[in-house]
Chain A
């Protein structure tokens, strides 16, 4: 165990001890549960000073147990002892993560479980603390609703959310993304082939990328109507330039020696393109695809603020915020966040498959 881990353990134990003392002095409101919780975490944290039973899963279990205890007694009037207990749970949970990440002798499956569990655990913690603070400190729900309230609203309005998701993500963002990235890719290849276009089109692309979305969106509504087509057009404008610039840069990334090599084989332009230049450009292209996946979503949502039929993530956010239904706004944000993370994750996965040879990905094969 490192000195750092020992410090976390001691601090966690001390916080557990403090919770126990506070709960005893204020027995009427705290109840026996908080005393036992304080004793548990103090014991688990401080046992590291003695070196008995050092397993990380003991720390994890204590941390989760404390969390369940705190959740079970969660209401608007939390006893004072619950706050040091929250800190103790956090420190001991942190310790468990530190220890499992540092463990050397792990089987491959175990280590992949750990690497998957850590971000899940981390996310759960953020939601847990969010819930504790908003409910325990009685934060007005208009400012920040607790996660439980958002979850309930989400579960109640799945049909509306699904319709909004289809309208904004599938119809507007995805079609705009495909058209924008696809056309930029083709034009990048043309630019690379024809020097005249390189002089003429690249500055125009630069110009388009500088246009503000709040200016484009109403114009696109005039051109393509209120429905998703105008939002897709905004997304095309937004995604075009990053893809263009990255693909052009990627196509120029080959080394002189590699080009000479294919020249000695008397390879044709298309052979050179397919066998050398596009594979070399792949990391650049994936970069643009990943940047654009989030840009497309933002573009489609914001574009709906400027005229839309009565469906869509952006429409719902702007109207529900006006009706003070902040929980619905958060439910829509959850949908957008899930869609964004999912597409980004899928693209990253695909990127690892295609550019496995790139120095940043090599470790996994060797």
Chain B
């Protein structure tokens, strides 16, 4: 535990709440969320749809504004953090621009930041290699498979080179084989770069396999019901998913999900 106290907090939320005004009354997308994420964490947010996990990620990214409580990102408000380009964001869909090649798509954030052409080319080449897409830089997004497109969108978030990576169900639309492969690659990437990663998912095995911290959420109102620290070893081959410890953690996540969920 001593190592943890020395690590700095990347995200701190206290009594965070977000209420949407719908036609049939207010919707509590988030309510009383307390959360602390430390530097280098791989945190998964898991829960049924409507539990506010994506909303929470969007609040961190300053794409939604909380209506109650407080939240800081790198010690700043989310807006300041966004303007400082403190995070890279990976969406549910690749959201690659069809008129740009993969290279130029990955270079888009760098272009907006105003980096020099040489620096840009260097970073694009580096991140393409990191996600295993070297040789595909000149292709257009619609010439690649869905899995490759999503990897390109991860490369785009990485090229940004922020210490914080926010990922919103990035592999949700992919088949299981591609998903396994990308999960493995993502873990290696995390080890290699030491980034802080917030990862939204609704798959229990994915959450347990990837994270060192699992935030279990439940809907109506969206809230955190359990935070599980995983003690799985850093080295995680795919078959760790059959190990006893893995299944125990998965069981605890499942119980947490069930408790938070009402079937009335």
Is A249's CB within 8 Å of the partner chain B?
Answer: no
A266 and chain B: residue at smallest CB distance: B83
**How many pairs of A and B residues are in contact by the CB < 8 Å rule?**
55
Q: Given A258, A261, A355, A357, which contacts B89 in the complex, CB threshold below 8 Å?
A: A261
Of A60-68, A166-174, A309-317, A358-366, the stretch lying at the interface with chain B is: A358-366
Is A193's CB within 8 Å of the partner chain B?
Answer: no
The answer on a CB contact under 8 Å between B95 and A271 is no
Q: Given B82, B99, B108, which contacts A357 in the complex, CB threshold below 8 Å?
A: B99
**Contact-residue bracket for chain B:** 20 to 34
Is A207's CB within 8 Å of the partner chain B?
Answer: no
- With A260-B63, A263-B82 given, is the CB distance from A271 to B93 under 8 Å? no
Nearest CB of chain A from residue B104's CB, rounded to whole Å = 10
Interface residue count on the A side (C-beta < 8 Å)? 23
Is A267's CB within 8 Å of the partner chain B?
Answer: yes
- With A265-B108, A275-B108 given, is the CB distance from A362 to B95 under 8 Å? no
Mark A218-241 against chain B: 1 for CB-CB distance below 8 A, else 0.
000000000000000000000000
The answer on a CB contact under 8 Å between B91 and A261 is yes
Is A279's CB within 8 Å of the partner chain B?
Answer: yes
Nearest CB of chain A from residue B93's CB, rounded to whole Å = 6
The answer on a CB contact under 8 Å between B95 and A358 is no
Q: Given B62, B89, B108, B140, which contacts A365 in the complex, CB threshold below 8 Å?
A: B140
A261–B88 Cα distance when bound, in Å, is 9
The answer on a CB contact under 8 Å between B91 and A279 is no
- With A264-B82, A264-B89, A357-B99 given, is the CB distance from A275 to B111 under 8 Å? yes
- With A265-B109, A266-B82, A362-B142 given, is the CB distance from A255 to B95 under 8 Å? yes
The answer on a CB contact under 8 Å between B63 and A263 is yes
Across-interface contacts of A365 in B (CB, < 8 A): 140, 143
Which B72-131 residues have C-beta < 8 A from chain A?
Answer: 82-85, 87-89, 91-93, 95, 97-99, 108-109, 111-113
Nearest 5 pairs between A and B by C-beta? A357-B98, A357-B99, A264-B89, A265-B109, A267-B112
